[in-house]
Structure formats: structure tokens, C-alpha cells
DNA sequence: TTTCGTAGAGAACGTGCGTTCTCTCGGCTA
DNA sequence: TAGCCGAGAGAACGCACGTTCTCTACGAAA
């Protein structure tokens, strides 16, 4: 029951909260529901996460890790920077087609609590900035001008909200096609 | 006290709720705060809007009208379809730089209540679909292939979330630059 | 075996909010 | 002038949720 068990419990709670928050929204899910789903006592839950806000921050940080890993895995099969960039949109394409897809958790959380919880706003912004840097590195590696990077990042963001609200997973393919045009135009100049 | 006054009261309530919801988030603002801000009795408020959900729908429909008007006004000065498309991003650019900008109200509302309120999800989707059609018409008018339209719409969506979360109003300029490349590439093929 | 500490289970508390109810007052009618 | 209708003001209600408190029971140490 030592450290490893505590970590396992943390992960269980975070995983349960993540699923519930993402599916139903944050304020629509009570702490007690998280407790039931994670099968842990309320006391333990509050000893690990002193508030719902802290739990939410942990959930979002966990999502950041999963997102980074997913992007990296998608890029692993690519050989050059251009393909690694396009792998982002392929990754999005698969994600959008999952049954439980309900948009970007960071965008949703920011929309729901960004004005009320500075912590949530910070975590969401951190995730976006990290992604923008990732894209910027690949653009640099591809030898394209730096101005291309924010354009590609905007395409990825727009695909997520479009897929979520309009319910069109094709948004990933559209974003990918646009990215191809933008990259090739940038490289040929 | 007759019809015109009721309309004025409706507008007052909607305007007050819009500002409060957009600034602080929907669930963070109580009905009583809306009542105070609009200076109307609770009874009248509930006689005009039978529930908070109905009020929110009215607010979002009102926002749809304002968005359409803003886009139309920006396009009014343009001479051809290409410039009308680019006027969208100029409109976004001005909007992002306003002090009270806090992202797209439809994206925020959808993230907060889309999973809980079907009405909110519908209104948000309607707005996005209407905008997509608007872009599609301009793309058609410009003589570009239809596949360009969703790409331009995705750029606009992505610019909004990027500007909101990352706090970078430049997203509008980046999206505009990308749009220029995409349009010209589509027209020259 | 007894005692002490700890952790689990959930009751309880305070608060806030959406919604409804009640009371009162002002104006119109006979 | 007396009675009635409608609307405004806000008190009240019921509920849900975040957080804390209490009680119980079990296991380890002496």
C-alpha cells in the first residue's frame, strides 16, 4: 500500500474523472460521481486532490500527456518533417471518428471555466502553446518559413471545433488538404 | 406597455444575459444576476423566458444575428467574392482585439452545456452550419472548387479558439495569410 | 488482550441556484 | 367610493453539490 498504490489510486481517480468530465461536462459531474466511479473513499479523494479544481487540473495535465504521446506516436512512422506535420491531421482524423469524441477537452474546459478558474485557463493555454512550439519545430526542421507554423496550428484547432460542433469528422481531412497546400507553397517560395 | 415594450424588455434581458454569460460563463451567472442587470422583475423574466435554457437559446440566437450582421457589414466594402472572404478574417481581427473578447460564444457554450442541453448543441451547430454555407457561397461565386470552403471555415474557427485560449489576436492575421494562399492556389489550378 | 491510530463509509453542513409562491400595491370599473 | 385584477418585489422552497465531520471497525504494537 505504499507509494505505488497511491499512484495507482491517483491514476484511477484521474481516469474516472477524465472520462466523466469529458463526456458530461465538468460542472455537470459531482465529486460524488467521481468517487463512485473510481471506487475510492471521499476522504482519500480529498487527501489526494484538495479540491475539484485541483482534480480538474490533474485531469487536464494527464490529457496533455496523452495528447503529446498520441502525436509522437503518429509522427513515429513518418520519415521527414513534412510527413510528421501531416501525421498530426491523420491523428486527428482517427480521433474524430471515435464514438466518444466530444471536441478538445482543453477548449471545452476553457469555455466552461476559463473565466472562473485561472488554473484551468493556464493549463489550457500551456497545452496550446506546447503544441504550437511542436509545430514550429517541425516547420523549422522542414526548412519552411516560421510564419507557416501558426497557420498549421490554427488548422488543427479549427478542425477540432468543427468536428465537435458540426459533427463532421471530415474536418480532419479538410485541414490536412489545406496543410498540404500551405506547406508546399511555403517550401517552393 | 404593449408589444413594443415587451420586445424592448426582451432585448434588455437578452443583452444583459449575453454580456454576463459571455464574460463569466453560463453556469457561473445566476438568474438573479441577470434579473438585477436587466432591471426587470423575476416574474416578468420567467414569463418571457420559461427557463434559463430558453433564455440561453435566445441569447445565442441573438448572437447569431449579430455575427451575421458583422460579417455582412465587413463584406459590404468588398467588391468581389475573394475580398468578401478575406473580409471575414479582417472582421475577426478587429473582434479579437476588443477588450472583452473571450472566444466564440457558441464554442464556449457548446463546451459548457453541449453535452447536457440539446438545445444549446443545436443552436451552436446551426450557427456553424450557416457560416459554412456563407463561405461556400462565396467560394462558389469566386469560381473556386467547393473543397476550398471547409478549409476556409476551419481557419476561421481555429483562429477564434487560438486567439481566445492563447491570447494571441494575431491568429486572425495568420488565418488571413493562410486563406490568401489557399484561395490563390485554388483559383490558379 | 487491550489500546491506540488510521482509514473507510457516508451522514451532515453550508451555500448557491433555478423556480415558484405569497404578499402588497396601484389602477381601472361599477 | 368599494371591489377587483394584474403585476412587481422578493421571500421561500427544494435540490444539488463541494466540503467537512463523525462514527465505526480493523489492525498493529506492547
Q: Write the DSSP string, A27-81.
A: TTS-HHHHHHHHT--HHHHHHH-SSHHHHHHHHHHHHHHHHHHHHHHHHHT-SSH
**Would you state the pLDDT for residue A33?**
96
CB A141 within 8 A of CB A151: no
Q: How confident is the model at residue A5 (pLDDT cuts 50, 70, 90)?
A: low
Whether B131 and B76 share a structural domain: yes
The string of pLDDT tens digits covering residues B149-173 is: 999 999 999 999 999 999 999 999 9
Question: Looking at the complex, does the CB of residue B155 fall below 8 Å from at least one CB of chain A?
Answer: yes
| A126 and A38 within one domain | no
Q: Are B114 and B27 in the same domain?
A: no
Same domain, A19 and A42: yes
Q: Can you say how many angstroms the Cα of residue A68 is from the centroid of all Cα atoms in its chain?
A: 8
Closest CA to B92 of B139, B152, B157: B157
Same domain? A94 vs A139: yes
Phi-psi category of B29—alpha, beta or left, where left has phi over 0 and alpha has psi -120 to 50? beta
CATH number of residue A31's parent domain? 1.10.10
Average pLDDT over residues B164-185: 98
Mean pLDDT of chain B: 94
* Contact state of B155 with A159 under an 8 Å Cβ cutoff: no
Statement: residue B107 has pLDDT above 80: yes
- Shortest CA distance to A151 belongs to which of A69, A106, A88? A88
Task: Read off the C-alpha cell for B31.
Answer: 438568474
**Pairwise CA distance, residues B152 & B23, whole Å:** 28
Query: What confidence tens digit (pLDDT) does each residue in B112-139 have?
Result: 999 999 999 999 999 999 999 999 999 9
Q: Are residues B80 and B19 in the same domain?
A: no
Does the pLDDT at position A2 exceed 60? no
Residue B131 near residue B153 (C-beta atoms within 8 A): yes
Query: Where is the domain boundary, B11, B32, B50?
Result: B50
Same domain, A2 and A82: no
Q: Residues of chain A with pLDDT > 90: what percent?
A: 94
Nearest Cβ partner for B181 among A27, A106, A181: A181
Buried b (16+ CB within 10 A) or exposed e, A24-57: ebbbbbeeeebbebbebeeeebeebbeebbebbb
Instruction: Identify whether residues A62 and A130 lie together within a single domain.
Output: yes
Mean pLDDT of A152-164: 98
For A83-136, write each residue's pLDDT tens digit: 999 999 999 999 999 999 999 999 999 999 999 999 999 999 999 999 999 999
> Are residues B43 and B56 located together in one domain of the fold?
no
Task: Looking at the complex, report in whole angstroms how far the Cα of residue B157 sits from the nearest Cα belonging to chain A.
Answer: 5
ipTM greater than 0.95: no
- CATH code of the domain containing A86: 1.10.357.10
Q: CB count, 10 Å around CB of A186? A: 20
Q: How far apart are the CA of B27 and the nearest CA of chain A, in angstroms?
A: 8
How would residue B183 be classed by pLDDT, with cut points 50, 70 and 90? very high
Selecting from A103, A111, A185 the residue whose C-beta is nearest the C-beta of B181 gives A185
**B74 — phi, psi (to 5°)?**
-65, -35
Determine the average pLDDT of the residues in A160-188: 97
Distance CA A69, CA A16 (A): 20
Residues B94 and B137 in one domain: yes
Query: How high is the mean pLDDT of chain A?
Result: 95
pLDDT reading at A189 higher than 90: no
Domain count, chain B: 2
| Per-residue pLDDT at B122 | 97
Higher pLDDT, A116 or A4: A116
pLDDT digits (tens, 9 = 90+) for B40-97: 999 999 999 999 999 999 999 999 999 999 999 999 999 999 999 999 999 999 999 9
Report residue A8's pLDDT band, with 50, 70 and 90 as the boundaries.
confident
Cβ–Cβ below 8 Å for A154 and B171: yes
- Residues B23, B59 within the same domain: no
B40, closest nucleotide (Cα–C1'): D8
Cα torsion through A75, A78, A80, A86, rounded to 10: -60
Which among B122, B179, B115, B110 has a CA at the least distance from the CA of B149? B179
> Does residue B112 lie within 7 Å of nucleic acid chain C, judged by its CB?
no
- Most B CBs within 10 A among A126, A161, A167, hence the mutation to make, goes to A161
| C-alpha dihedral sign at B101, B104, B106, B109 | negative
Q: Which of A183, A174, A185 minimizes the C-alpha distance to A89?
A: A174
Burial class of residue A148 in the structure, from the number of CB atoms within 10 Å of its CB (0-12 exposed, 13-18 middle, 19+ buried):
buried
> Are B169 and B103 members of one domain?
yes
| Domain span at A12 | 1-50
For cell 490554427, what's the residue? A154
Q: Where are the alpha helices (DSSP H) in chain B?
A: 3-24, 31-38, 42-48, 52-76, 81-96, 105-113, 118-141, 148-166, 171-187
Q: How confident is the model at residue A1 (pLDDT cuts 50, 70, 90)?
A: very low
Residues A21-60 have pLDDT tens digits of 999 999 999 999 999 999 999 999 999 999 999 999 999 9
Rounded to whole angstroms, how far apart are CA atoms B104 and A164? 14
Separation of alpha carbons A167 and A158, rounded Å: 13
The closest of B153, B28, B6 to A111, measured between CA atoms, is B28
Which of A151, A178, A177 is CA-nearest to residue B177?
A151
B79 SS3 class: coil
Asked if residues A164 and A145 have their Cβ atoms less than 8 Å apart, the reply is no
Share of chain B above pLDDT 70, in %: 96
Specify the pLDDT at position A170: 98
User: Percent of chain A scored above 70 by pLDDT?
Assistant: 96
Amino acid at each position: 500500500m505504499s507509494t505505488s498504490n497511491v499512484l495507482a489510486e491517483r491514476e484511477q481517480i484521474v481516469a474516472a474523472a477524465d472520462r466523466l468530465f469529458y463526456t458530461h461536462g465538468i460542472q455537470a459531474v459531482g465529486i460524488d460521481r467521481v468517487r463512485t466511479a473510481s471506487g475510492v473513499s471521499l476522504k482519500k479523494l480529498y487527501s489526494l486532490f484538495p479540491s475539484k479544481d485541483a482534480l480538474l487540473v490533474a485531469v487536464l495535465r494527464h490529457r496533455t500527456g496523452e495528447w503529446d504521446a498520441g502525436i509522437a506516436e503518429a509522427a513515429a512512422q513518418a520519415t521527414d518533417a513534412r510527413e510528421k506535420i501531416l501525421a498530426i491531421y491523420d491523428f486527428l482524423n482517427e480521433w474524430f471518428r471515435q464514438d466518444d469524441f466530444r471536441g478538445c477537452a482543453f477548449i471545452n474546459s476553457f469555455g466552461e471555466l476559463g473565466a472562473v478558474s485561472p488554473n484551468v485557463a493556464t493549463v489550457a493555454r500551456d497545452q496550446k502553446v506546447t503544441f504550437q512550439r511542436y509545430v514550429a519545430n517541425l516547420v523549422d526542421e522542414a526548412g519552411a518559413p516560421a510564419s507557416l507554423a501558426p497557420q498549421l496550428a490554427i488548422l488543427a484547432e479549427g478542425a477540432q471545433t468543427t468536428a465537435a460542433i458540426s459533427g463532421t469528422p471530415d474536418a480532419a481531412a479538410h485541414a490536412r488538404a489545406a496543410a498540404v497546400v500551405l506547406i508546399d507553397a511555403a517550401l517552393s517560395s
